[in-house]
Amino acid sequence: MEGELGDFRVAVRKKARYVDEAKCTGCGACAEKCPTATSDAYNLGLANSKAIYRYFAQGIPSTYTIDAAQCRNFQPGKKCGVCAKVCQAGAIDYTQTDQVLEVSAGAIILATGYELFDAGRVPEYGYGRIQNVITALEFERLLSASGPTHGHVYRISDIRLKEEIPELEKSVQKAQRGLERFEKQFGQASGEFFSQYSQGKLTGEDFDKWAEQVKLTKKMEEELGEKKSRAETIEAAHKIAFIQCVGSRDMRFNRYCSGFCCMHAIKEAIIAREHDHEAQVSIFGMDIRAVGKGFEEYRNRGAKEAGLNYIRSRVAEITEDKDLSPVIWYEDTKAREVKAMPVDLVVLATACEPGAGVEMLAQIVGVSLNDFGFIETNPLQPLDTTRKGIFVCGCAQSPMDIPESVAQASSAAARAAQVLSGSGSMRLAS
């Protein structure tokens, strides 16, 4: 980026979608036929997407995009082209390249938002190791009617179990076909053969192979049967624990409070109870920060309507039971006892951190970051960065909830308009 207030010249890389935006109608035929499954980033890996995809169904623009890193057509030696064949609008264009556009502007507004703290950095909570410990954003996806479970809150271990069954069925069918080949070759049923073999009446390499196949097939059939019967008894995750301040208010990671997590935990608890009347929800926090209009009432509503159990505690450790239930070890600060609470699902409220790439962005546009890594502003001029003509709003400036982000965004727009109209003084941040 070059220039200054009133005359910024910014080089922006427009990444190739490999889909012509002017032609794509968003019909989705390409994604339906695409043979490459990918991990769905929007659903945080809880569902699968395709190499040609839309970030989410209602996304604007509705143009599809090809993830070149995953698409077979872009890997050396592989050829696909299915999406181009089925696209009625002829919108697929594998020859597209990234373009560098020069954008000129009088003012710039940074609204790069935030990233969530990686819960795997807190080893005692077991995120990444214990299946049924998830983050709040992952829980939001489970709660969503358009999410991977259509709004049903299941234990992750149960979701995985259900996913394993079709794959296992295919494997069992393949194994059974293997048995049929032997049966045809020797003109005997596998069961009869196996009892003779076990008695030592039949020897030879071929019979050894057949016997192996019989054992393997039986093992797989048993596994399938066991998994199917377990899957039939799957219920919603009734006991849910919300752990606050994961990565926030923590001398090891971020010293600050992330502001909105107590509220979203209460929200998630209320909605979980709406979806499941048997839900038993607990929230473990040092304190509950419900600072805003109607927020204390919301907190009380959580207790009254959702039976939300507020437990004043900083959770020490989460372990895993044999049945894959997470167990929460905590101090009951009222009774002054260490207790263990097994639950179905643990939801971690992870810290709000500066957006990915914000360090590089700050360098490119020439603004300073504060000690916490957010865009530096003067508390009396929270929209102005350390560079004239560049303003900031939302979580890029500091953790804040949606109404605050929206209000600050409108303010930043007004500030930019004020300065560009020549009517406002450009008081520097420092």
Partner 1 sequence: MNRDVLVIGGGIAGIQASLDLAEMGFKVSLVERLPSIGGKMSQLDKTFPTNDCAL
CB 364 within 8 A of CB 151: no
Question: With respect to partner 1, which residue has the nearer C-beta, 327 or 413?
Answer: 413
Per-residue binding letters, 329-348, with partner 1 (x by CB under 8 A): --------------------
CB of 171 to partner 1, least distance (A): 34
CB of 92 to partner 1, least distance (A): 15
Stretch that binds partner 1, among 77-85, 201-209, 266-274, 315-323 (CB under 8 A): 266-274
Please list, in sequence order, all residues whose beta carbon lies within 8 angstroms of the beta carbon of residue 284, skipping any fewer than 6 positions away. 241, 242, 243, 244, 311, 313, 314, 315, 328, 330
CB of 370 to partner 1, least distance (A): 18
Binder among 30, 71, 143, 348 for partner 1 (CB under 8 A)? 143
Scanning the structure block, which residue is given the tokens 């992870």? 350
Question: With respect to partner 1, which residue has the nearer C-beta, 80 or 263?
Answer: 263
Question: 19: which DSSP letter?
Answer: B
- Phi, psi angle pair for 9, to nearest 5°: -120, 115
3-class state of residue 18 by DSSP: coil
Site for partner 1 in 205-264 (CB under 8 A): 263-264
Stretch that binds partner 1, among 28-36, 62-70, 155-163, 203-211 (CB under 8 A): 62-70
Site for partner 1 in 268-287 (CB under 8 A): 270-271
- State how beta strands 37-39 and 114-116 pair: unpaired
Site for partner 1 in 78-137 (CB under 8 A): 103-114, 137
- Residue from 253, 249, 247, 270 nearest 348 by CA: 247
- Amino acid 321 reads D
CB of 315 to partner 1, least distance (A): 22
Binder among 393, 398, 399, 429 for partner 1 (CB under 8 A)? 393
Binder among 50, 54, 155, 387 for partner 1 (CB under 8 A)? 54
Question: With respect to partner 1, which residue has the nearer C-beta, 22 or 145?
Answer: 145
Hey, what are 155's tokens?
Answer: 């234990």
d(CA 28, CA 196): 56
CB of 167 to partner 1, least distance (A): 28
Question: With respect to partner 1, which residue has the nearer C-beta, 116 or 122?
Answer: 116
3-class state of residue 20 by DSSP: coil
Site for partner 1 in 399-428 (CB under 8 A): 401-402, 405-406, 408-410, 412-414, 416-417, 420, 422
CB of 65 to partner 1, least distance (A): 4
DSSP secondary structure string for all residues of 322-388: TTS-EEEEEEETTTTEEEEEE-SEEEEEEPEEEPTTHHHHHHHHT--B-TTSSBP-BTTBTTB-SST
Question: With respect to partner 1, which residue has the nearer C-beta, 132 or 135?
Answer: 135
Question: With respect to partner 1, which residue has the nearer C-beta, 239 or 264?
Answer: 264
d(CA 206, CA 211): 9
CB 383 within 8 A of CB 412: yes
Could you tell me how many residues of this chain bind partner 1 (CB under 8 A)? Answer: 72
CB 396 within 8 A of CB 386: no
Stretch that binds partner 1, among 199-207, 329-337, 341-349, 395-403 (CB under 8 A): 395-403
Binder among 288, 395, 399, 429 for partner 1 (CB under 8 A)? 395
- State how beta strands 280-285 and 239-246 pair: parallel
Q: Is 74 among the residues that bind partner 1 (CB under 8 A)?
A: no
Q: Which residues pair with 285 in a beta bridge?
A: 312
Q: Is 147 among the residues that bind partner 1 (CB under 8 A)?
A: yes
